[in-house]
Amino acid sequence: MTFSLTILGNSSAIPTSTRYTSAHVLNVHERFFLIDCGEGTQMQLRRHKIKLGKINHIFISHLHGDHTFGLFGLLSSYGILNRKADLHIYASPDLERIINDNVLAFNIFLPYKLAFHALDCSISERIYEDENLWVETIPMKHRIATCGFLFKEKPKLKNIRKEAIEKYRIPVKEIIRIKEGADFKTSAGQIISNMELTLDPPKPRSFAYCADTCYHKGIITKINNVDLLYHEATYTHDLADRAKETYHSTSYEAALLASEAKVGKLVLGHFSPRYKNLDILLNEARKVFKNTFIGEEGLTFSIE
């Protein structure tokens, strides 16, 4: 089953001639979650062949323009396309008022229900759950209230060995109990251990999104051992003072956090427009955490 992140925008503050601002799509079992919605997001969705109608949940980390300015156009386009499915937005409570003001001011037609979920970015809380996945917020350390997001698969039941079903003539009504961990008692009274009957399910996969934020060790307990970490890397470390002043991170700091949290893979993003060649940020990070990659627009990072 699919678990992958596609980068739609990686520029901080403003779009450039070659890069869009923050936007990302997480595909979990063919359910698509949009994380941040910078200017031009709907163009990038089309360019990378992600159907707009597949997105039913949008997570906004904070109310800076490079993470939100694409949202109003996207909502309008959904209206023009006569969307009917509910659209859920998870964000600061102030965004609901801003959206409502825009809808009124620009006479935006919304033939669908807009369900707003207000976030408290000062705490970590579970904000979404379905049969396969749950999502929790991660308090970031930025100039304004900002949430990161932790997406994690739910554990699956064990897989029963087909040969065991035949060998011990296990009835259908017993299979769920065995998958849940029970042993099996044969008609002759023999107890067959669950270990012999089953295979362990795949390890639940996880993804953490951390932007915008300065280096913040307080989040390590939330992102510890995640398979994929997206972390902002606005500057190289020679501009650490500037990063601290603006509550952003350097590529070195992002890599240090990834190393301390023992994550599987680190993807960098949210780069200052001053960097034309992103290799300088990548090289700096890889000296600390080798399994680091640049979040190039259009790239998809899969967790197998």
Could you give the residue numbers annotated as active site?
66
CA distance 177 to 57: 34
Residue 250, both tokens = 């350097």
CA distance 62 to 37: 10
Amino acid 48 reads H
CB atoms within 10 A of CB 138: 22
For residue 212, cis peptide bond before it (omega within 30 degrees of 0): yes
Are the beta carbons of 18 and 296 closer than 8 angstroms?
Answer: no
114: part of which helix (H) or strand (E)?
strand 114-118
Residue 254, both tokens = 């992002």
Parallel/antiparallel/unpaired status of strands 228-232 and 265-269? parallel
Place of tokens 């190039």: 296
Q: Which residues pair with 9 in a beta bridge?
A: 23
CA distance 133 to 303: 15
Decide: helix, strand or coil at residue 190: coil
Amino acid 82 reads N
- Work out the end-to-end distance of the chain between its first and last CA atoms, rounded to an integer number of angstroms: 8
